Amino acid sequence: MSSENRLSEMISLCREQLFTAVVADTLDMLGYHHQVLTPGITPLDPSRILCGLARVGLYMPIYHDDETTKVYEHEIALVDSLRTNDVPVLVCHGNKKISPWGELLSERSSYLGAAGCLTDGCVRDSRMIREMGFPVYCAGTNPSDTKYRGKLMMWDVPGEIAGVRVESGDLVFGDQDGTVIVPSAVIAETIEKSFEKVTAENTVRDEIRRGDKLVDIFGRHEVL
């Protein structure tokens, strides 16, 4: 199986069977302690899992529009370049005054097979995006366009979102608890070890349900 196919399969496994808490624990165990986004980035539709490979874009606040500004040029290029399982990660540096994402970009991304969108800015057309079923995780909603307010200036460069460093190719994984960035170098190892942790937690859950004390269970398994 090609490495691309293997990656694609891992992404499916992660999306369908894992959850962010166990992946965050695994990353902690591997020595990666700063991979969880600060609370405040939430899914438009909590039932949609966000799982795919980051395509990082950096926005910049602007305060005008004119013929030379070409506010959408790089945004259009980034979205037109999306591939299966890609997740545009639109870094707004915490600026909630703009919505770099909306229905039409979701339509195009969905057409290209992208796996969702992550931004620390806001999003608009939220009702239509929910109806479309496209996974979008964002800092809130806002009817305001980027025109006059912000422009994507660089993409496929390193970024930082909600306190976490992210590069194109990292795994973005979000569910109802939050969003985790898995560095590209440890995607396989992280997913593999996460499945082991799930097994251990199942044992613990069973023992709790039969009435064992936490102090005894933790003494046996060192998992909580």
Q: How many residues bind a second copy (CB under 8 A)?
A: 73
Q: Is 16 in the site for a second copy (CB under 8 A)?
A: no
Distance between CA atoms of 67 and 118, rounded to whole angstroms? Answer: 29
CB of 2 to a second copy, least distance (A): 26
Q: Is 131 in the site for a second copy (CB under 8 A)?
A: no
Q: Please list, in sequence order, all residues whose beta carbon lies within 8 angstroms of the beta carbon of residue 47, skipping any fewer than 6 positions away.
A: none
CB of 214 to a second copy, least distance (A): 4
For a second copy, the binding residue among 119, 141, 190, 194 (CB under 8 A) is 141
Cβ–Cβ contacts within 10 Å for residue 171, how many? 26
For a second copy, the binding residue among 8, 10, 30, 148 (CB under 8 A) is 148
Distance between CA atoms of 141 and 152, rounded to whole angstroms? Answer: 18
**Pairing between β-strand 86-91 and β-strand 136-138 as defined by DSSP bridges:** unpaired
For a second copy, the binding residue among 7, 50, 122, 186 (CB under 8 A) is 122
Nearer CB in complex with a second copy: 90/91: 91
Strand partners, 59: 152
Contact window for a second copy (CB under 8 A) among 2-10, 13-21, 181-189, 191-199 = 13-21
Distance between CA atoms of 67 and 108, rounded to whole angstroms? Answer: 25
Site map 68..107 versus a second copy, x via CB under 8 A: ----x---xx-xx----------x-x-xxx-x--xxxx-x
Contact window for a second copy (CB under 8 A) among 3-11, 121-129, 185-193 = 121-129
Q: CA 163 → CA 39, 71, 75, 91, 119, distances in Å?
A: 10, 26, 23, 11, 12
Distance between CA atoms of 171 and 208, rounded to whole angstroms? Answer: 33
Rounded to the nearest 10 degrees, how much is the dihedral formed by the CA atoms of 198, 202, 208, 212?
Answer: -100
Q: Is 45 in the site for a second copy (CB under 8 A)?
A: no
Footprint (CB under 8 A) of a second copy, residues 24-43: 24-25, 28, 33, 36, 38-40
For a second copy, the binding residue among 6, 83, 127, 220 (CB under 8 A) is 127
Site map 157..176 versus a second copy, x via CB under 8 A: xxxx----x---------xx
Footprint (CB under 8 A) of a second copy, residues 55-74: 58, 60-64, 72
> Which residue carries 């506010």 as its tokens?
71
Distance between CA atoms of 168 and 148, rounded to whole angstroms? Answer: 27
> Which residue carries 């992946």 as its tokens?
23
